[in-house]
Structure 1
Amino acid sequence: MLFSIIDRMLIREVFRALLVIVSVLLLLILANSLVLLLGQVAAGSISMKVMGVLVGLKVVKLLGFILPPAFFFSILWVLGRMYRDSEMVALNCAGAGLLRLYRVFFLAALPLAALVAVLVLVVLPQARVYADNLQQQEKKQFRIGGLKPGAFNEFNKGRFMIYVGHTDEQGDGLRDVFVRYQLDGEPGVLVARRARLTGLDDSRGKYLILEEGQRYQGVPGRTTFSIADFSRYGIRLPDAAAEATTVSRTALPTSVLMASDDIKFKAELQDRLSAPLSVFALMLLSVPLARSLPRQGVYGRLTLAVIIYAIYMNLLSLAEKWMAKGVTPEWMGIWWVPGLAVLLAVMITQLDSLAYSALWRRWKGRLS
């Protein structure tokens, strides 16, 4: 039998705590991101479709990097409570020693590390590419859905500006429109009671058709300045400037990183691989850090665990930057950070064993 009653109890409690920690962290982080994204939607910078994609990208990114520490702290929480309530004493008497705990948590970490690997190595790069492409397409389109009534909407780096008082009930027409543009180096202003967009699906260009308004062209005080009334006036919207886009390393497929000899690409690859490796490294650390005497409590070691985790994550970030800049040798990579975590777990386990052995010898000497 692969899992006993004790094993299933430990796995159930750990994954229950894991679900709570992940849910709370996702809600806290996504709440702030949603406020910022909704502000961009209200300002017309992005559409609701892009916002949905960006939220999904944020969730995938957070899951890939939240799961390892959440698994770490869930084991700390469950084992710490069991030590505090003397349940671990009973489990030790039943034969559930340190190796048994590692066996259970290693089997639990296998599917979790596989999920993190899929998210970080496959899903996240593809999601970033899709989000970048969708944002680039949105920049090349000029739609009513991107105009915020009651506010100035800037385009083409401020060279083209539209103010819309409000839209009609059908949503396909504009009311009380103000347009500022540049024509042959001279400023122009259009004011109209109504307007509408045409040619949205026409490759020849998009036009804003204004009705019942005035046009002010040129600089006031110069001979070229002119004022004219019109019943209908069309102005071609500026084409989106072709921007030279550079693909970020974080959006490159993992296969491209594996085939590259660039040290920066290798550092990015190892940074991605560090996420599933951290599941096992932090798991090895969590078991000895959760250990405490029945009356000692868990909070002292929990504080130590938070400090160790903060140092671990900062070392991972520094190791990736050092490798990319050539500060550390290529063979060293960033593997030494999870290696240090494993070494620290062995040291804490040995120190605990010596401490408990000394305590047992002292207690045995008193009894004799």
Structure 2
Amino acid sequence: MLIKEVLKTLVVIMSVLLLLILANAMVRLLGQVAAGAISMKVMGVLVALNMIKVSGFILPPAFFFSVLWVLGRMYRDSEIVAFSSAGVGLLRLYRPFLLAALPLALLVGVLVLEAFPKSLAYADVLQSQEKKQFRIGGLKPGAFNEFNRGRFMIYVGREEKSGDTLQDVFVRYVQDGKPGIVVASRARLAHLDEPPGRFLLLEDGRRYEGVPGKTEFSVAGFQRYGIRLPDVVAERVNMSRASLPTSLLLGSDDIKLRAELQERLAAPLSVFALMLLSVPLAKSLPRQGVYARLVMAVVIYAIYMNLIQLGEKWMYNGVTPEWMGVWWVPGTTALLAFLLIRLDAVAYSSLWRRWKGRRL
């Protein structure tokens, strides 16, 4: 029953978190689509990759708050009191949560150690390639659109419903070191075989070419004119440490790469550490409210995540010895869970109550 309730709550919390992350990613990527940096098709791929990247890191806190939520409700409904009267103690409650944590930790390990770096590297490559391409579909009517670091500046009056033809087009370009301006009634993007390459084909317009202030200046009208677009040259993508495969980190002697590996390994360990902490944190008295320690849990989790980040930085900066790595953060959290269990046991023991009664 406990496993079922926790997993149902976990699905709800994960769905809410993923929807929030999805909305944030779509807003950011739609801005790039409107600017012509990426296409709608690539945006869908990047959204999916972003969901894969974050899933492994939000599963541990989602499981943590799922256990808190379920146990808090059970304390409110006095179900834990019924469990205790039947001989089910606090340590016995850990058994179902441990059974749920084992497959979740395995899933988190696969997502963080394998899926996360691969999805991050693929997303970097896609965005790098898309930003180098010139796209008609990304042009915004009624605004100036800049491409290729200012090599092409295009103003579009309006766009036909078909989406492949632009009207009332103004183009400023630099070709062979010479600036030029073209004004045309219509324009479209085409791939030609002779001469081979990509061209912006303009129709019914005028061309102005020359350097302002010099006598070499030409003006000509045309019915059809093509501007060759530069070939897309694949540049080297600078891979961050986060996008490096785990197999490469395992065999590295670089302290920064070893710190990155430690941070990844901390994710599956966090499933167990936060689970151990959630059970004593959820404990509350009837008059303390339903989720008396939920605020404390949020604060502890915020401190926990910051310590993970600090642990990585301290490791490669030499503040902490390498053998400590980042695992000391989950270890300290597990120790804190043990101390909370002991404090609760002392606080509600008969000896403590008698000693407190004498003082009063």
- Give me the TM-score of the superposition, normalised by structure 1: 0.90
Mapped contact 1:193–1:211 kept (Cα < 8 A): yes
Q: Residues 101 and 271 of structure 2 are in contact (CA less than 8 Å); yes or no, is this contact kept in structure 1?
A: yes
What do the CA deviations read for 1:283-303 (whole angstroms, capped 9, x no partner)?
A: 000001111223222443111
- Indicate which of 292, 310, 320 corresponds to 1:318: 310
* Stretch of structure 1 that moved more, 196-205 or 25-34: 196-205
Q: Distance in 2 between matches of 1:202 and 1:90?
A: 83
Preserved contact between residue 153 and residue 173 of structure 2 (Cα < 8 Å): yes
For structure 1, list consecutive stretches of 5 or more residues without a partner in the other structure: 1-8
TM-superposed CA distance for 1:91, in Å, is: 0.5
Counterpart position of 1:254: 246
Aligned equivalent of 1:35, options 10, 13, 27: 27
Q: Provide the residue aligned with 2:36 in structure 1.
A: 44
Q: Matched residue of 2:18: which SS?
A: helix
AA aligned opposite 1:320: E
Q: Structure 1 residue 90 and structure 2 residue 114: aligned?
A: no
Instruction: State the 1:157 CA deviation.
Output: 0.9
Whole-angstrom distance in 2 between the partners of 1:301 and 1:356? 17
Residue equivalent to 2:267: 275
Quick one: distance in 2 between partners of 1:215 and 1:201?
24
Q: Partner of 2:230 in structure 1? A: 238
Q: Specify the SS of the correspondent of 1:199.
A: strand
TM-superposed CA distance for 1:123, in Å, is 1.2
1:228 alignment counterpart: 220
Aligned to 1:5: none
1:81 and 2:64 aligned: no
> What corresponds to 1:307 in structure 2?
299
Alignment of structure 1 residues 1-368 onto 2, 5 Å: 9-199=1-191, 204-240=196-232, 243-358=235-350, 362=354
Quote the Cα distance in structure 1 between the aligned partners of 2:148 and 2:123: 21
Question: For 1:334, what is the secondary structure of its paired residue?
Answer: coil
Cα deviations by residue, 1:274-320 (Å, 9 ceiling, x for unpaired): 11110000000000111122322244311111111111111001111
Alignment length (residue pairs): 358
In structure 2, the gaps of 5 or more residues are none
Identical aligned residues as a percent = 72
In structure 1, how many angstroms separate the alpha carbons of the residues matched to 2:178 and 2:193?
29
Q: Retained in 2: the 8 A contact 1:156–1:240?
A: no
What per-residue deviation string (whole Å, max 9, x for no partner) do you get for residues 66-90 of structure 1? 1111111111111122122221011
The change in CA–CA distance for 1:147 and 1:203 in structure 2 (over 3 A counts) is farther
What is the RMSD of the two structures over their aligned residues, measured on CA atoms?
A: 2.3
Amino acid at match of 2:116: L
Per-residue deviation at 1:249?
1.3
CA distance in 2, matches of 1:294, 1:202: 82
Deviation at 1:210, TM superposition (A): 1.6
Q: CA deviation at 1:122?
A: 1.1
Give the stretch that moved more between structures: 240-249 or 306-315.
240-249
CA contact (8 A) 1:156 1:241 kept: no
Describe the shift of the 1:244–1:22 C-alpha distance in structure 2 as closer, same or farther (beyond 3 A): same
Shift of 1:218: 2.1
Instruction: Give per-residue Cα distances to partners, 1:14-70, cap 9 Å, x unaligned.
Output: 112112211122222322221222222122121112211221122112221111111
| Distance across 2 between alignment mates of 1:18 and 1:363 | 42
Aligned residue identity for 1:143 = R
Residues 171, 28 of structure 1: alpha-carbon distance in 2 compared, 3 angstrom cutoff: closer
Q: Distance in 1 between matches of 2:356 and 2:240?
A: 63
Contact 1:271 1:320 in 2 (8 A): yes
Aligned partners of 2:113, 2:356: CA distance in 1, in Å? 54
TM-score for the superposition, normalised by structure 2: 0.92
- Partners of 1:25 and 1:304 in 2: how far apart? 20
